[in-house]
Amino acid sequence: MSPLLELVLQYSAYALIALGAVLVAAAYYRLGIVGTYLGDYFGILMSERVTGFPFNVMEDPMYNGSTMIYLGDALLAKSVAGVLLSLVVYITYEVATRYFEGPFTAHIYEEAAKAKAKKGK
């Protein structure tokens, strides 16, 4: 590998890790411990769905951020297997959020809004 390409790869890896860490940390800050660790699955909802940064940039910043960290680490290690595993993680997160978690979260917040509106009447 040429020194220039290696340098570009290294800086790209660091940028991916840094951006991924910002996304994960900001999402954790917004959601708190309960929102992060499946509070909504146990009926502990936030007053409303979080829409501030990083959720105004992307739908699932924790999943995408962690995938960016995995990919950055794989690039730093120059690991083809790590890059492929990062792809597997990304696909798994996409399937889980698109078909399971996303619809479930939308449903529980819709139901909570209906219940709140019913109480208000």
Position 113 confidence tier, pLDDT thresholds 50, 70, 90: confident
**Whether residue 114 has pLDDT greater than 90:** no
Across the chain, what does the average pLDDT equal?
89
CA distance 46 to 18: 28
**Whether residue 98 has pLDDT greater than 70:** yes
**Whether residue 45 has pLDDT greater than 90:** no
Residues 13-40, buried b or exposed e (16+ Cβ, 10 A)?
beebbeebeebbebbbebbeeebeeeeb
CA distance 103 to 1: 45
Q: What's the average model confidence in pLDDT over 14-36?
A: 92
CA distance 106 to 91: 21
Supply 7's token pair. Answer: 């340098």
pLDDT at 2: 86
